[in-house]
Every structure is written in structure tokens, then in C-alpha cells.
């Protein structure tokens, strides 16, 4: 994968072996392009920005190459100058060569390590925010949780100025499911991860009382201070909905009074855990925003921090790039085991891994899951892959860790936050507005046109790379500084707009009965 791209006036060629280029701007039919000094190609049709054009003739069944990697095969012969996309490219066979650990290099630390201003909690972990959480064990208590949080909206928190807010963590599950097995294990692991998250100064867990997912089974054994940081109740014990709201509101007032005494202090970047997300991807994602985030991740890791790469279906076809960077054969084998699980899972439900690119992805120029995955993996930079964990499992770090999650952004980010992510970096080409309370979410635009169109939602413009204004490394350095500022309390734009109250979406597995 290239670390830098020098654009020609209209075309990006990412690797010397590529037989496709990417339109930097809209290209009209008949335009002569010069991808290499000794060659020229004439566009045989209009090519949209971010879409691919054949640089030379590609025979039927021939490999389509981008990033120096196979992203698909030609369904029919594709003449030089043709638009290369879903109408003439298919998946073909994937026979990846895995050189396990071949590209692994030990991390070279940067001294002195960078710092940020965070909230040090009793267990030693560090929060980037100071929220109170109201967590439902089951959908039946969700309305009560939301009503309690709403009581602290606007002036409701005026007495507690250092508390960032009260967040209702609600979901659509918790009953009508087996009390044993994968489904309930994932839900409880996720809820427990939020209940102990360092961005929550304190939490109140609320159940109905008769559900499968009992409150005590969520809070049992949690290494947190009962009473001062963790409280629980049920609607049935409280005497009903009205009574539960009144009692819950009184409890949150008590928790907020204690949380208001917390103050930020200087801590090392080793306490920063960053979840890496991409959503609404386009043809530029793997060229600008994802490599820039990867460069920032490499800096984060060298300063002692932790990054979580996820979205397992979106590394399909690029997993060889990660196994080559695995710190041990066990790490590589753990990653491959999760991909094999996903192959069986999608087959079981009558789907294929190439179902993943969404209509928006395709409109933005992404043709196959292979192309999407090769770009998505770039978020992880070049650091060694140190560990592979299951969904919502606590991440210990340091370094780059892979968490098995779906590609659906809210579900994936929910797992990362449950695993301990206290900052989310979210790259987008089409324009996601994703917020993620209690964790701030930075939106990184892949192209300048979308950045300008959605300026009040985008925190960083990686389109400067496509425009030739910034190198990938320079953009990564600037993004790393933004990450530190945000971790220290600077508001992301999703926080400015109050987004993030509805994005808790645990991965729902198992039978609903």
C-alpha cells in the first residue's frame, strides 16, 4: 500500500503495477489522460470523481489491480479508457499468500512520550470525558432510562458544570432470549464494558425486574465502587414507571455531585485507546483518510497508545496484509479463525462476503469488498498486530489490536467502546455524522468537496491529500494532534451538535424467542 500519492491533474495512479487509475475530479468522455510519461489513455465515457478508469486493456478474466493488489477480475474484456466498476468487474477466486509475521517490526518508541489531559479513575484507567451513564438491562426499562437522562438535559446539569452530561444507554434486547449461550454473553459483556468505561464517572443500571438479563448478572463482580460509582435498581422494585423515574433521578443527582469533583490531569498517551472506524466509504477512502489515520495510529503506537481495528467483514481480501504484521503465529491464526467464522456465518444466512459494499459505497467508486478491505486496512497504519480479541472484550494493549465486529458502524463502534476505546476516529467519504456518547467521535473526510458541503459535521479534511496540499505523513501528524486535543476536552463536532445518544447498538446474536 502506498504511503503517499502525487496526483496528476485529473488522475491518481497508486502503484506502478496498477491497471486502473482513480479519477481525482470528474472526467468527461474524450479527455486524454497521461498516467505515465510514456503512455496516454483517452476516456471512453464520463468517469465520476473517485471512480476507476482502465489504464490499459484488461482481458476477460484478467486481474484488476489497485494499490498493487487484486480487487477483482474483469467479467468481460475492458478496453483502456473504460469505466471500471460493478458492471464489468466481479470477485473471482481469492488465493492470498500469507507470510505470517514477515512484515512485523517491533515498535520504536518516541521519547519523550506525548501526553493529554484526562480524568484518572480509581482503577487507573483514564477518561476523556466525564459523563454519568443510565444503562438499561432490557428494552423494557429503556423508557425509564431515557426519562431520567432527559431530566438532566439543558439546565438540568447547571449545578454540575464539570459533568459532560447524562447518557441513556438503551437497546432492544435483554429478554426473549436464552439465558445461556453466545447471545446473552455478548450482550452482558457489552453492558459490563459500558458500566466500567472510564468516560463514565458513575453509572446507574436499571432493569424491569423479571427479564432474562437480570441486573445482578450484569453488575456481579465488577471491579468498581459500589454506591459511589455503580448503583442499580429495577422498575418493579421501585413501584412502577413514575416511581422508578423519580428514584433514578434522585440517584443520578447524587452520582453527579460526586462526579463534579473530578478534574483533568496530565497523563501519558499510553492511557489513550482509539477505536478506528470507516463508514460511508468512497473511492478515496483508501487513498486519503484511511492512510492518514494509519499514519496517526503509527504515531499513537510509538507514543505508547492503543488502537483498535475492527469490522471483520471489511478486511476480507486484505487479511494477508495483517497476518504479515502479526506479532506471533498465534495472533495470525486467531485472525484467520474469525474470518472463517464469518464465512460460515454469512453462508448460513444466505449471504456472501461481497454483499458488504453498500449502495453509497458503490456510488462513491468502490466496486468489490476486496477494494473496500484494502482501503479499510490502511486505518491500522504499519504497526505490528499485537492481539486479536472477540467483540466487546476488554482491550489491554498497547499497540494495534484487532477486535472481531460486524462492518455495521454502530455495532462495531459499540464493541470498541465496550472494549475500552475512549476516542473514536471515523473516516467517511459519503458523509457520516456518527456520534458515540460517552466517547467523542472525530469525523475525517476523504475528499474536499464533501468536507466543504458538510463542514459542520467534519472534523478533519484528508481531502488535502487528494488535492496535493498535504502528504499522508503530514496529514497523519496533524490528525494525531487533533486526537490529543479532543482527548483533552476539545469538542468534536458531533458533540457540538449533541449527537451520540442513540448509537448504542450491541451485536445481537442467537435466537429471539
Look at residue 355 in the predicted model and tell me its pLDDT. Answer: 67
Distance CA 17, CA 58 (A): 13
Nearest-10 crossing angle of helices 472-487, 289-302: 60
Mean pLDDT in residue range 209-238: 89
Residue boundaries of the structural domains of the chain = 11-90, 117-259, 270-496
Task: Express each pLDDT in 306-323 by its tens digit.
Answer: 999 999 999 988 999 999
Q: How confident is the model at residue 4 (pLDDT cuts 50, 70, 90)?
A: very low
Q: What top-level class would CATH report for the domain 117-259?
A: alpha beta
* C-alpha cell, 316: 476480507
CATH assignment of 11-90?
2.30.130.110
* 8 A C-beta contact, residue 292 and residue 476: yes
Q: How confident is the model at residue 5 (pLDDT cuts 50, 70, 90)?
A: very low
- As a whole number of Å, the CA-based R_g of the chain is 24
Task: Express each pLDDT in 97-151 by its tens digit.
Answer: 778 999 999 999 999 999 999 999 999 999 999 999 999 999 999 999 999 999 9
Strand-pair category, 52-54 with 83-84: antiparallel
Task: Express each pLDDT in 257-284 by its tens digit.
Answer: 999 999 999 999 999 999 999 999 999 9
* 8 A C-beta contact, residue 466 and residue 284: yes
Look at residue 91 in the predicted model and tell me its pLDDT. Answer: 86
Q: How wide is the angle at C-alpha 471 spanned by C-alphas 461 and 291, nearest 5°?
A: 70
Look at residue 127 in the predicted model and tell me its pLDDT. Answer: 98
Task: Express each pLDDT in 54-93 by its tens digit.
Answer: 999 999 999 999 999 999 999 999 999 999 999 999 987 6
Q: How much is the pTM? A: 0.94
Look at residue 3 in the predicted model and tell me its pLDDT. Answer: 37
What are the CA-CA distances from residue 161 to residues 14, 144, 157, 229, 250 (Å)?
A: 50, 24, 7, 18, 18
pLDDT tops 70 at residue 499 = yes
Maximum pairwise Cα distance, the chain = 81
* C-alpha cell, 74: 474483469
pLDDT tops 90 at residue 351 = no
* 8 A C-beta contact, residue 193 and residue 420: yes
State CA 149 to chain mean position distance: 26
Amino acid at each position: 500500500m502506498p504511503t503517499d500519492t502525487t496526483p496528476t491533474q485529473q488522475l491518481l495512479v497508486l502503484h506502478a503495477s496498477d491497471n486502473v487509475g482513480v479519477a481525482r475530479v470528474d472526467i468527461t468522455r474524450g479527455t486524454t489522460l497521461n498516467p505515465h510519461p510514456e503512455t496516454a489513455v483517452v476516456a471512453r465515457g464520463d468517469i465520476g470523481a473517485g471512480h476507476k478508469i482502465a489504464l490499459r486493456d484488461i482481458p476477460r478474466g484478467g486481474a484488476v489491480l489497485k494499490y498493487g493488489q487484486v480487487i477483482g477480475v474483469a467479467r468481460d474484456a475492458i478496453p483502456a479508457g473504460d469505466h471500471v466498476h460493478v458492471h464489468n468487474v466481479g470477485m473471482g477466486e481469492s488465493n492470498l499468500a500469507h507470510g505470517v509475521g514477515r512484515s512485523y517490526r517491533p515498535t520504536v518508541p518516541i521519547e519523550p512520550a506525548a501526553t493529554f489531559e484526562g480524568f484518572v479513575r480509581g482503577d487507573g484507567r483514564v477518561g476523556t470525558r466525564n459523563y454519568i451513564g443510565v444503562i438499561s438491562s432490557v428494552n423494557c426499562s429503556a423508557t425509564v432510562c431515557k426519562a431520567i437522562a432527559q431530566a438532566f438535559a439543558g439546565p438540568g446539569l447547571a449545578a454540575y458544570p464539570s459533568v459532560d452530561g447524562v447518557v441513556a444507554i438503551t437497546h432492544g434486547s435483554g429478554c426473549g432470549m436464552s439465558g445461556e449461550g453466545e447471545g446473552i454473553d455478548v450482550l452482558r459483556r457489552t453492558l459490563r464494558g459500558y458500566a466500567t468505561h472510564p468516560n463514565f464517572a458513575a453509572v446507574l443500571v436499571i432493569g424491569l425486574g423479571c427479564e432474562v438479563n437480570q441486573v445482578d448478572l450484569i453488575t456481579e463482580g465488577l471491579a468498581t465502587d459500589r454506591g459511589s460509582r455503580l448503583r442499580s435498581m429495577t422498575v418493579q422494585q421501585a413501584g412502577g414507571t413514575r416511581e422508578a423515574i423519580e428514584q433514578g433521578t434522585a440517584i443520578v443527582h447524587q452520582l453527579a455531585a460526586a462526579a463534579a469533583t473530578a478534574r483533568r490531569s496530565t497523563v501519558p498517551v499510553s492511557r489513550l485507546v482509539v477505536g478506528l472506524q470507516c463508514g460511508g466509504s468512497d473511492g478515496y477512502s483508501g487513498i486519503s483518510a484511511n492512510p492518514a489515520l494509519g499514519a496517526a495510529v503509527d504515531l499513537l503506537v510509538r507514543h505508547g497508545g492503543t488502537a483498535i481495528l475492527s469490522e471483520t467483514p471489511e478486511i476480507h481480501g486484505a487479511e494477508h496484509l495483517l497476518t504479515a504484521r502479526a506479532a506471533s503465529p498465534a495472533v495470525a491464526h486467531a485472525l484467520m479463525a474469525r474470518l472463517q467464522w464469518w464465512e460460515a456465518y454469512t453462508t448460513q444466512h444466505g449471504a456472501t462476503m461481497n454483499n458488504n459494499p453498500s449502495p453509497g459505497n458503490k456510488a462513491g467508486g468502490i466496486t468489490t469488498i476486496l477494494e473496500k478491505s484494502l482501503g479499510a486496512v490502511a486505518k491500522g497504519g504499519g504497526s505490528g498486530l499485537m492481539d486479536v480479541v472477540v467483540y466487546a472484550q476488554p482491550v489491554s494493549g498497547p499497540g494495534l489490536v484487532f477486535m472481531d465486529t460486524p462492518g455495521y458502524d454502530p455495532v462495531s463502534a459499540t464493541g470498541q467502546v465496550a472494549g475500552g476505546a475512549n476516542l473514536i476516529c471515523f473516516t467517511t467519504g459519503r458523509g457520516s455524522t456518527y456520534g458515540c456518547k460517552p466517547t467523542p467521535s472525530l469525523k475525517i473526510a476523504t475528499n474536499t468537496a464533501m468536507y466543504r458541503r458538510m463542514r459542520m459535521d467534519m472534523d478533519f479534511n484528508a481531502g488535502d491529500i487528494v488535492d496535493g496540499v498535504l502528504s499522508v505523513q503530514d496529514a497523519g501528524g496533524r490528525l494525531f494532534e487533533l486526537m490529543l486535543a479532543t482527548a483533552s476536552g476539545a469538542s468534536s463536532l458531533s458533540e457540538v451538535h449533541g449527537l451520540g445518544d442513540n448509537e448504542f447498538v450491541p451485536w445481537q446474536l442467537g435466537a429471539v424467542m
